[in-house]
Every structure is written in C-alpha cells, then in structure tokens.
Amino acid sequence: MVIPHSEIPILSIRPTDIFMLLVVGSLTEISHRIVVHRTKRQSSAEKAERKALRAARYQTIKKRALGPSAFVETSKLERLVLNKEKELKVFEEKRAQNVKTMEKVMKYTMTFLNLCIFLMYYGIPILEVDGFKASELGLSGNLQSDDHAEHAAAFW
C-alpha cells in the first residue's frame, strides 16, 4: 500500500556524497565509543589489586572472628587492607584523569571533523529541487518568476 503524495521534483541527487557522509559519521561515532570504553575500563593491574583487596578483607574478617587472641594478625591485615585501598584510590584517580583528558581530546577532534565537513560541503548541494518542474506541478504556489531558485524555495 502506497500513501498518496505529490511527486518531489528532484533535479539532482549525490548518492556517493550522502554515502560518504554516512560512513564518516558512523566510523567516527564507533571509534569515539571504542576509545571512551577503553579509557574507562579497569586495567588488569587494577583488577588484580581489587582481587587482592577482597582476599585481604576476607582474611581480616576470619581473624577478627577468632577473637582477641589473634589481635596482632588482625591489625596487620587491617593495615594491609588500608594500604590496598590507598593503591586502588591511586588507580582510580589516574583513570579519572585519563578519561577527562580523552574526552577533551575527542571533543576537539569531533569539532575539527565537523568543521572540515562543513567547509567541504558548504556550497555543494546534496539534493537539488527542480524549481520549474515544481511550478509545472503546481507545488510552488502562484509564483510569477523566471528564477529556478525562487520556485524551488517556494516548494518547501
């Protein structure tokens, strides 16, 4: 079933440019998301540190359950847990700084790419409407002009 509509008087269309713009946009979006994902994820060293912290916390809880007789071992494990937490905090701060820097770089890169595309395609129409055909079809109103651009503008 086709919805009834009037014919669009197209003078020219540039499908290769449309395809190229779609490919460039898709590739930049995919690469942007991959870079951000890799920057935000935990490193293998940080994962190992978290695993060691969980093990130290577990051992501390077990020693604490033994009571006052294991006070020295419990204190050593508590200090170890505090040191592991400090090391993890350093990892997290470093990762947060990397994310911040990468987002700034990506912002400037995307702005530069958008500016380049704008400058390349500023004067090039991707799709042109045939103004005289639009007036023949009665789509440009009652415009009495010999200018192709005025008829095309009246169509929209």
Q: DSSP labels for 59-100?
A: HHHHHHHT-GGGHHHHHHHHHHHHHHHHHHHHHHHHHHHHHH
d(CA 89, CA 146): 72
Residue 152 pLDDT class (50, 70, 90 cuts): low
pLDDT value at residue 78? 93
What burial letters (b/e) apply to 17-54, b meaning 16+ CB within 10 Å?
A: eeeeeeeeeeebeeebeeeeeebeeeeeebeebeeebe
Residue length of the chain: 156
CA-CA distance, 93 to 96, in Å (whole number)?
5
Taking the C-alpha atoms of residue 31 and residue 85, their distance in angstroms, rounded to an integer, is 33
10 Å CB burial of residue 101 (0-12, 13-18, 19+) is exposed
- pLDDT of 94 higher than 90: yes
Overall average pLDDT of the 82-92 stretch: 94
pLDDT of residue 22: 93
Q: Which pLDDT score, from 0 to 100, does residue 139 have?
A: 56
Res. 137: pLDDT tops 70:
no
pLDDT tens readout for residues 20-73 = 999 999 999 999 999 999 999 998 999 999 999 999 999 999 988 888 888 899
